[in-house]
């Protein structure tokens, strides 16, 4: 006869998300993205369960000053499709950083999160800003 240990189900009151502010200046894109995905999923918390959104809110500033290694700045491509025939658009990393530096980090983190409903909810807790200011100062200060 085997004895099964029941898994502790976290209560809604226990799922208090914290706010983290990360500065992306001079950091490598993949390394900061993996750090963000761990915070969003809640894997750093002892009450982590994979089927619930136990993660925190993450605010990333200075997204335009992200660093990449090698020739990725010219060779890395981003694709999007309009839905029409021949509507495939291609952009490299340099153009993306010039126009929309927030999307670079957001797409990198999106690839590291689960591809399901909780994963989409985790991504909605990510706030990325190109400059060094953000409008979430009140939320961040209450947790400090």
- Interatomic CA distance for residues 20 and 42, integer angstroms: 12
pTM for the model stands at 0.88
Give the phi and the psi of residue 124 in degrees, each rounded to 5. Answer: -70, -15
Domain boundaries, the chain: 18-68+100-143
Dihedral angle, C-alpha 41, 47, 52, 58, nearest 10 ° = -30
Residue with tokens 């929309």: 100
Q: Please say whether the beta carbons of 80 and 92 come within 8 A.
A: no
Q: Scan for tokens 């915070």, then name that residue.
A: 39
Tell me the pairing of strands 57-61 and 88-92.
Answer: unpaired
Q: Which CATH class is domain 18-68+100-143?
A: alpha beta
Please give the chain's pLDDT, 144 residues, in tens: 678 877 777 777 778 899 999 999 999 999 999 999 999 999 999 888 888 899 999 999 999 999 999 999 999 999 999 999 999 999 999 999 999 999 999 999 999 999 999 999 999 999 999 999 999 988 887 654
Using only the alpha carbons of the chain, give its radius of gyration. 18
């Amino acid at each position: 006869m085997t004895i099964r240990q029941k898994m502790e189900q976290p209560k809604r009151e226990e799922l208090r998300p914290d706010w983290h502010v990360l500065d992306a200046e001079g950091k490598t894109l993949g390394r900061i993205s993996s750090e963000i995905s761990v915070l969003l999923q809640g894997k750093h918390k002892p009450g982590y369960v994979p089927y619930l959104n136990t993660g925190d809110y993450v605010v990333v500033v200075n997204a335009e000053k992200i660093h990449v290694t090698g020739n990725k700045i010219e060779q890395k491509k981003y694709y999007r499709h309009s839905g029409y025939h021949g509507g495939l658009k291609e952009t490299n990393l340099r153009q993306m950083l010039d126009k929309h530096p927030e999307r670079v980090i957001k797409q990198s983190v999106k690839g590291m999160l689960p591809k399901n409903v909780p994963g989409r909810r985790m991504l909605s807790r990510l706030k990325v800003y190109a400059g060094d200011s953000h409008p979430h100062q009140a939320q961040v200060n209450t947790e400090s």
